[in-house]
Chains A and B, each alone.
Chain A
Amino acid sequence: MSSRNTLSDRIGRYVPDRFSSDTATEPGIDWTPYVYLLPALVLYAVVLVYPFVDTFILSFQRVTTLGGERRWVGLQNYEAILSDPIFWRAGFNTIIFSVGMVFVPLVLGLGLAVLIDTGVSGTSTFRSLIFVPVIVPLVVAGIVFGWLLGTNGLLNSFLVGAGIIEEPMRFLNSTTWSLPSVLLMVVWKRTGYYLVILLAGLQGIPDNVYEAAKVAGKSRWETFRHITLPLLKPAILVTVIIGIIDSVKAFAHVYVMTGGGPSHSSEILATYFYKVAFRFFQFGKGAAYGFILFAIALTLSLLVIRFSGGSEV
């Protein structure tokens, strides 16, 4: 077969061969690309597109058992969620969570990236070391931080030892500290991620830009403020968008450490979504909830792209 193909291909440039499978000379549609795409498209359609459409339909229905009878209820599911005070509580917490997840690692990552980019020898090793938490499983990170912040954990031992507090604090059981505790873990896990994105951005700025600034007698801060930052905008934008989408998706971070408690003080949109759908078994309401999440993630990303005036992404 291959030898025949070989021959026909050789001749095929000049003499159309109707038996050859890839005859570019024959007019009509060349199906080869679609053959390569087919398996991926089938998986995509069955496992993602169909459920996506089904979620949308389900969000206007009431179902008591999965796969059971569905009844149309109009916008009731959406109304039920939007009038649920815990949803708003979770939404507010997600904003705090988002700020902690986006801006704290961004500032830390930027500072570290600038330090590493100074060109002092040996600094690239630090990049790899600070990146390590990114690949640590979320569940492991949650368990370890839960233990670090526990009553007989390292942090309490340090705070009591230093005389800052008298009694060990139950950080994860406190309505004030539960969310910041989770955020501490999030910052630990994300700083390295942002660091590598921002560092790649910094290294992409050509040296002669800095040289020009130096010749013009700009100070270090001026150079950073007026040259580095604007040139780094695409990279910063990327970290902000990823951060926002991830904070709407974030689930295991909170689920493992606090489960959303105590009394919803660390509840975020995704953990409450999971409770509505799989603990309270309100699938229609859960589907509507899912679409609200989707709309939020999409709107926020579009807003960020718009306001930063960037079409770079």
Chain B
Amino acid sequence: MSVATRIRDVVSGDSDVRTVTRVGTIGALTVATILVAIPLYWMVATSLKTSVQIGVFPPYLVPPTPTIDPYVDALQTGPWAQWFLNTVVISGGSTLFVLALATPAAYVLGRREFPARKPIYVLFIGILMIPAQILLIPMYTLFSRLGLINTRLGLIVAYSAFFLGFVVFLLHSFFTNLPDNVEDAARIGGVPEWRTFLRVILPMAKPGIATAAIFVFVFTWNEFLFALTFLQTQDLYTISVGLQQFQGLRGTVVYNQLFAMSTLATLPLMIAFALFSEQFIKGMAGLNFK
């Protein structure tokens, strides 16, 4: 609330108008939120119905006899557990790998003066302009020559490369904003540079690193095109590829199972978002301004 409106409220006392505005605003936002929630509600509701109940038209708005059977059946009959594991390994691996490479790079680009600093930074940012999929064909050739096609490691390497520019960009602004005299103090104290980086700078940059980690994890968790192209054996599918293939194979018969697994695929992201929503939203909003 701006100071002006607050003062105006106190002076003129037109609280009736304010109440109307308030109710209208909350009302409009509530409607918007309900519209946003419907698809997610429908996903969960359908996942709790039996196969017979999902075929009924008009559909039951609330599952008449909620059951977790679709979850159990799917996990017992399909390779879903393996697919979830693959996704965790690939997303987690990519997050660690890209952070290990991008953090030192962003640190020197943000805090050190050296001749090639600007062109190298521009080079990293330049990746963000290239639609990754145009590299699909030569990357496929390269990776098959290196034996990385149809492996989890291959996807980790590919994702790390894609998110390199993004993470450098994100952390660069973070490092730049740390106080100037940190290294000087350490230097005068006689601490070598690499220790200053590990022991002093890294802990100070923790919030930035955490934000980058959440982003990379969520984006790689959701990635589809490269996973679809690089992973050919069913055992290696990520959850996104698994869901899409399962939809194609089984049709509408087991939609409740498909939705049960969709719910499970979304759940970790929801938990991460519930825990870190502020970092997430701030990161997303601030991303493009720095």
Contact indicator A238/B136 (Cβ below 8 Å) = no
CA distance A138 to B240 in the complex (A): 8
Chain A nearest CB, measured from B40 CB (Å): 7
Does A150 sit at the interface, judged by CB under 8 A? Answer: yes
Q: How distant is the Cα of A286 from the Cα of B286 in the complex, in angstroms?
A: 35
Closest Cβ of chain A to B41, distance in Å, is 10
CB of A32 closer than 8 Å to a CB of B? yes
Contact with B along A22-57 (1 / 0, CB 8 A): 100000001011101101110110111011101100
A248-B32 in contact given A119-B2, A136-B269, A139-B244 (Cβ < 8 Å): no
Closest 6 CB pairs of A and B: A290-B134, A119-B1, A200-B285, A47-B161, A51-B138, A54-B138
CA of A226 to CA of B258, assembled, Å:
50
> Which residue, A30, A66, A133, has most C-beta atoms of chain B within 10 A?
A66
Say whether A261 faces chain B, with CB atoms less than 8 Å apart.
no
Partner of A234, one of B26, B190, B225, B289: B289
Q: Which of B5, B25, B241 contacts A123 (CB 8 A)?
A: B25
Q: Flag whether A96 is at the interface (Cβ < 8 A).
A: no
A-side residues, CB < 8 A to B, are 2, 5-7, 9-10, 21-22, 30, 32-34, 36-37, 39-41, 43-44, 46-48, 50-52, 54-55, 58, 66-67, 108, 112, 115-116, 118-120, 122-123, 126-148, 150-154, 156-157, 160-161, 168, 188, 191-193, 196-197, 199-200, 207, 210-211, 214, 234-235, 238, 242, 245, 248-249, 251-252, 255-256, 270, 273-274, 277-278, 283, 286-287, 290-291, 293-294, 297-298, 301, 313
Assess whether B107 is in contact with A36, with CB atoms less than 8 Å apart: yes
Q: Enumerate chain B interface residues (CB-CB to A < 8 A).
A: 1-5, 8, 21-22, 25-26, 28-30, 32-33, 36-40, 42-43, 46, 55-59, 100-102, 104-105, 107-109, 112, 114, 116-117, 120, 123-124, 127, 129-142, 144-145, 157-158, 160-162, 164, 168, 187, 190-193, 195, 197, 218, 221-222, 224-225, 229, 239-241, 243-244, 247, 252, 255, 258-259, 262, 265-266, 269-270, 272-273, 277, 280-282, 284-286, 288-289
A135 & B131 in contact (Cβ 8 Å cutoff): no
